[in-house]
Amino acid sequence: KSRFTSNKKNKNGLPATFGIPDAMYTDPETGEVVVVEADAGNYNAKQIAKKMQFWHVRGFQQLWAQPKKTTAKVHPEKGVKVLEA
């Protein structure tokens, strides 16, 4: 099973494309794969939490980009970096 996509729907009823990040890169300092979510401003708090958990349980570091004004914010934590535009 791919780490990036699920079958048609996963156990939470999320679409298969839910597991596709906007981008990925390898951290040059640690060699770890980092998933990039470049559109945090388009999600509500529940959606952000689900996406963060989705990447966390798969062992990926995360980088989120979000506008300064948004209805739900991503907050930095271990394994999660946030860029504000």
Per-residue pLDDT of 51-68, as tens digits, reads 999 999 999 999 999 998
Q: Dump pLDDT digits (tens) for 22-45.
A: 999 999 999 999 999 998 888 889
Mean pLDDT of the chain: 84
- Closest to 39 measured CA to CA, from 2, 8, 85, 81: 85
Tell me what pLDDT residue 27 has: 95
Is the pLDDT score of 75 beyond 50? yes
Task: Specify whether the CB–CB gap between 16 and 6 falls below 8 A.
Answer: yes
Q: Which residue did the predictor score with more confidence, 61 or 12?
A: 61
Is the pLDDT score of 11 beyond 80? no
What global pTM score does this model have? 0.77
Which ranges in the chain belong to alpha helices (H)?
45-57
